[in-house]
C-alpha cells in the first residue's frame, strides 16, 4: 500500500524525470539545490489550494494552477494555455496528505452552515450548492486521484510529460509515486 518514494538524493529521482523540469523541481524543493535563474517557465504545476503548502522553486520557474485536490478537470483552458503559449513540456500534479477534498460528505453540514453564517447565504441555496458541486470536487483518495488525473492528462496532451507527486504536509517534502 505504501506507494510513496522518498527523494533524499538525486539518485532517488526516477530515470524518466532526471534532467527534466520534474527532476529539477524535486531537487529545488527536497534537496535544496541552489536556485537557478529563469526567464521562461519550465513546467506547469497543478497543486491544491490548501494553505499548508509552499514550494521552494526559483522565480519564473513554473506556471502554477492551484485548485482543490490538484484537480485540473475544470482548469483545462489554463492548462492548454501554459502548453500552447507558455511552451511548457511538463506538468507536475501535486496531491497532498490531509487533503480537504477527500470525503467532502463528512463536512457537508459544516460547509452548509458555514456558507449561511459566514457568507449570508440561505440554507436552501447553500444545500443546493453543496449537493451540486461536492461530487465534482470530491477526490476520494489523494494518491489514487493524482495518479488517475495524471493518466487523464497524458491522454489529453500526449506530447506532454505528466508527473504525479505527493506533498506530505507532515514533513513538507515531495514524494514520487509508484505507478503500476
Counting contacts by CB under 5 A, is residue 48 touching Zn ion?
yes
Helix/strand/coil for 82: helix
Strand partners, 176: 5, 165
Q: How far is the CB of 95 from Zn ion (least distance, A)?
A: 8
60, 38 Cβ separation under 8 angstroms:
yes
Sheet holding 90-96, edge to edge: 4-6, 173-177, 161-168, 90-96, 43-47, 62-66
Q: How far is the CB of 94 from Zn ion (least distance, A)?
A: 10
Tell me whether residue 50 or residue 149 sits nearer to Zn ion (CB atom): 50
Residues 82-121 that bind Zn ion (CB under 5 A): 99
Listed ranges 46-54, 57-65, 84-92, 144-152: which one lies at the site for Zn ion (CB under 5 A):
46-54
Q: How far is the CB of 118 from Zn ion (least distance, A)?
A: 20
121, 54 Cβ separation under 8 angstroms:
no
Q: How far is the CB of 145 from Zn ion (least distance, A)?
A: 10
Counting contacts by CB under 5 A, is residue 139 touching Zn ion?
no
Listed ranges 25-33, 42-50, 76-84, 154-162: which one lies at the site for Zn ion (CB under 5 A):
42-50
Counting contacts by CB under 5 A, is residue 24 touching Zn ion?
no
Counting contacts by CB under 5 A, is residue 50 touching Zn ion?
yes
92, 28 Cβ separation under 8 angstroms:
no
Q: Are strands 161-168 and 62-66 parallel, antiparallel or unpaired?
A: unpaired
172 Cβ neighbours under 8 A, 6+ residues apart? 53, 54
Tell me whether residue 23 or residue 95 sits nearer to Zn ion (CB atom): 95
Tell me whether residue 35 or residue 136 sits nearer to Zn ion (CB atom): 136
User: Which three cell numbers, joined as nine digits, stand for 17?
Assistant: 524525470
Q: Which residues contact Zn ion by CB under 5 A?
A: 48, 50, 99
Amino acid at each position: 500500500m505504501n506507494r510513496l518514494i522518498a527523494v533524499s538524493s538525486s539518485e532517488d529521482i526516477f530515470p524518466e524525470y532526471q534532467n527534466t523540469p520534474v527532476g529539477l523541481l524535486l531537487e529545488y524543493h527536497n534537496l535544496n539545490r541552489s536556485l537557478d535563474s529563469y526567464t521562461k517557465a519550465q513546467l506547469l504545476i497543478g497543486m491544491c489550494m490548501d494553505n499548508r503548502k509552499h514550494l521552494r522553486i526559483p522565480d519564473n520557474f513554473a506556471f502554477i494552477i492551484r485548485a482543490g485536490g490538484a484537480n485540473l478537470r475544470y482548469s483545462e483552458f489554463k492548462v492548454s494555455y501554459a502548453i500552447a503559449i507558455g511552451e511548457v513540456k511538463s506538468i507536475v500534479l501535486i496531491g497532498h496528505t490531509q487533503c480537504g477534498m477527500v470525503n467532502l460528505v463528512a463536512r457537508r453540514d459544516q460547509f452548509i452552515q458555514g456558507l449561511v453564517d459566514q457568507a449570508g447565504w440561505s440554507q436552501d441555496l447553500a444545500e443546493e450548492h453543496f449537493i451540486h458541486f461536492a461530487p465534482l470536487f470530491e477526490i476520494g483518495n489523494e494518491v489514487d486521484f493524482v495518479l488517475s488525473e495524471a493518466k487523464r492528462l497524458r491522454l489529453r496532451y500526449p506530447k506532454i510529460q505528466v508527473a504525479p507527486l505527493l506533498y506530505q504536509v507532515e514533513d513538507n517534502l515531495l514524494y514520487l509515486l509508484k505507478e503500476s
